[in-house]
Amino acid sequence: MPRKFIKRFLPDAKKIREHKHLRMFGSALHDPNLWHLNRRSVSVAFAIGLFMTFVPMPFQMIPAAALAIYLRANILIAIALVWISNPLTIPAIFYFCYLVGTWILGAPVNPFEFEFSWQWFASEMSHDWQPFLLGSLVVSTIASLAGYWGIQWLWRWHVVREWEKRKNRK
């Protein structure tokens, strides 16, 4: 069952409830629907997590948790997927989003050397912010939809396969 596979990789719900950045949600984190593993909650959590992964903002976990609470999706999966964008992957993700934005706008690609500083980010974004933000929005939306429909399909495929196995045993 997908639940058993997913549960192996999820952190403890108690640790998430007590996380210093998520305490602001208070008793909303005690809703049992946020911790269930079913097709709807997992697929919506994938959509939320993948969308927030490509949004260029700090502390992406907080809006991901808020959306998971609002949409009653699995909060653990939504938060865990946000960590696809981490200090090692952010340069590649941001550059890809920038390339997608320039492709959509038909703008030329400005060559640059990546530095991990606010000064560099501010100077580069002063003239490249439009393709970067457009690319981020497009990539976020496509990743979100692909994650949602991909999980829906995988879950359904797994259930049908289990039904077939059970039918063949009889």
* Among 80-84, 91-95, 119-123, the least confident range: 119-123
Half-sphere exposure of 46 (CA within 13 A, CB side): 20
Dist CA 132 CA 138 (whole Å): 10
- Whether residue 82 is predicted with pLDDT greater than 90 in this model: the reply is yes
Q: What's the pLDDT score for residue 49?
A: 95
Q: What is the biggest distance separating any 2 CA atoms in the chain, rounded to whole angstroms?
A: 68
Q: Which segments of the chain does DSSP mark as H helices, in order? A: 2-7, 13-17, 39-53, 61-71, 75-82, 90-105, 118-169
Contact between 140 and 53 under an 8 Å Cβ cutoff? The reply is yes
Residue-wise pLDDT for 17-46, tens only, equals: 677 766 777 767 777 777 778 888 999 999
How crowded is residue 141: how many other Cβ atoms within 10 Å of its Cβ? Answer: 14
Instruction: Say if pTM beats, i.e. exceeds, 0.85.
Output: no
Contact in structure between 88 and 61 (CB atoms under 8 Å): no
Q: Which of 12-16, 27-31, 100-104 has the highest mean pLDDT?
A: 100-104
With the C-alpha atoms ordered 5, 35, 48, 20, is the resulting torsion angle positive or negative?
negative
